[in-house]
């Protein structure tokens, strides 16, 4: 299959609200030649990443918008515009190949429209973009509601935050301490001709100069190293678990933090890892298996403790709460298309329910680490403030550190170009059963 057609099919599913890119793209990648998979991915992700800008340009170029039944043609146009603006693909190839895909979609009528619009974009692109970019939403590549919310929360960091959201994410590794130290693995990478550096804040983190197939990484299959962002790697250290403790990892999929907890503290009594559906635990199980680790996996709603908790208290709880994922937009650019303003309040409510439900399972003297990959205060500092206000037995513990920014409660990491994702942590101790 033509990589443009495959990217178009995946993007159309996202634009129509039928799927996420991570759900829609893999089946399409299976249909293209191995050499074209990188291009397919680049086109689908790139068009999603810059959709607000490309959409604004398309609106200027089209006499009237496409009908709802022609979302695939609209997606094809965005992919054509992305190639012209953001890739080194020769314009004649970008236009010719993109227009040709209309036949494959059985919409030959669209060829003339696509050809005319893309050729005009090639001729007048700079002039039109200068007009389009007067709108900050287009210039910064974020939907209007999201840009407003980010500006309200992070006025001083807005431009840097948007730039990080629009950048290609780095590939970061986590060295398994059970198999050796980071410096030894860095030396091994250098020997294999793979450029990399030690991460700034995670003692197990290594950032690669360029992404690689995991099969090229020394000892990956043997469990010596995993792929995990630096910000997410901080959870295991912050939890400060000790030998003999029982630990709960609520909302655990895909299991990176579950595994890191077990790598950093081999003498835990038990790790119970809960997630909503059995299908979400498949990845967790695979990761544990590759790393040679053991955890008790439970498919359940973490809030329904009566259905899965055995009544034995936990000394440590990691609540990596469901969130808007606004800190990882660069990894999942379709978040810009899928998220709605009302989602934030609904997610904050869910986070509150999870905190309230899990708190009774924590032993007095035990610690709960709250984490999200969101940059929205409503899901982070505000959520914790509300929980502390209604929970007399909870106290916040300070999170000192060279990373992130101190908030009224907890610490916030914003995504960094060539650095970590956006993430939030708050640490709570239970001082009484109330």
Give the chain's length: 434
What is the Cα–Cα distance from 331 to 328, expressed in whole angstroms?
5
How much of the chain is helix, strand and coil, in % rounded to 5? 50, 15, 35
What is the Cα–Cα distance from 32 to 39, expressed in whole angstroms?
10
Based on the residue annotation, tell me whether 373 is a catalytic residue of this protein: yes
Q: Which of 199, 252, 323, 373 is catalytic?
A: 373
* Sheet with 225-227, edge to edge strand ranges: 196-198, 205-208, 172-175, 225-227
Token readout for 90 is 């020769």
Own/partner pairs, 136-144, CB within 8 angstroms, 24+ separation: 137/52, 137/56, 138/52, 138/53, 138/56, 138/57, 139/53, 140/166, 141/49, 141/50, 141/51, 141/52, 141/53, 141/165, 141/166, 141/336, 142/52, 142/336, 143/52, 143/336, 143/337
Is omega for the bond preceding 254 within 30 degrees of 0, making it cis? yes
What is the Cα–Cα distance from 397 to 176, expressed in whole angstroms?
28
Task: Judge contact between 5 and 293, C-beta under 8 A.
Answer: no
Residues labelled as active-site residues? 373
């Amino acid at each position: 299959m033509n990589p443009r057609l495959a990217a178009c099919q995946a993007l159309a599913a996202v634009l129509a609200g039928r799927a996420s890119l991570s759900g829609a793209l893999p089946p399409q990648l299976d249909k293209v030649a191995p050499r074209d998979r990188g291009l397919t991915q680049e086109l689908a992700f790139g068009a999603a990443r810059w959709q607000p800008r490309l959409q604004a340009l398309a609106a200027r170029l089209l006499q009237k918008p496409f009908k709802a039944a022609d979302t695939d043609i609209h997606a094809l146009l965005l992919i054509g515009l992305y190639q012209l603006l953001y890739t080194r693909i020769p314009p004649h190839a970008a236009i010719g190949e993109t227009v040709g895909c209309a036949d494959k979609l059985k919409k030959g009528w669209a060829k003339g429209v696509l050809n005319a619009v893309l050729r005009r974009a090639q001729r007048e692109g700079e002039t039109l973009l200068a007009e389009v970019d007067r709108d900050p939403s287009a210039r910064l590549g974020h939907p209007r509601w999201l840009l407003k919310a980010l500006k309200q929360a992070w006025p001083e960091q807005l431009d840097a935050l948007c730039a990080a959201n629009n950048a290609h994410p780095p590939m970061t590794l986590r060295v398994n301490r059970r198999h050796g130290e980071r410096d030894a693995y860095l030396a091994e990478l250098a020997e294999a001709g793979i450029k990399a550096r030690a991460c700034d804040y995670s003692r197990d983190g290594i950032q690669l100069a360029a992404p690689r197939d995991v099969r090229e990484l020394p000892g990956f299959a043997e469990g010596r190293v995993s792929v995990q962002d630096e910000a997410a790697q901080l959870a295991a250290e912050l939890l400060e678990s000790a030998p003999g403790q029982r630990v709960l990892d609520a909302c655990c999929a895909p299991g990176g933090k579950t595994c890191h907890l077990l790598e950093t503290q081999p003498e835990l009594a038990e790790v119970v890892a809960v997630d909503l559906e059995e299908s979400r635990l498949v990845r967790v199980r695979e990761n544990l298996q590759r790393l040679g680790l053991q955890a008790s996996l439970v498919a359940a709603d973490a809030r329904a403790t009566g259905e899965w908790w055995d009544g034995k208290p936990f000394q440590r709880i990691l609540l990596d709460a469901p969130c808007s994922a606004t800190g990882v937009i660069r990894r999942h650019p379709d978040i810009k298309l899928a998220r709605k303003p009302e989602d934030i309040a609904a997610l904050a409510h869910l986070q509150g329910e999870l905190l309230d439900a899990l708190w009774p399972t924590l032993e007095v003297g035990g610690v709960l680490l709250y984490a999200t990959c969101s940059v929205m205060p409503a899901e982070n500092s505000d959520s914790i403030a509300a929980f502390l206000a209604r929970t007399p037995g909870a106290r916040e513990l300070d999170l000192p550190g060279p990373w992130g920014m101190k908030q009224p409660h907890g610490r916030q990491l914003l995504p960094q170009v060539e650095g970590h994702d956006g993430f939030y942590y708050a640490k709570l101790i239970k001082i009484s059963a109330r």
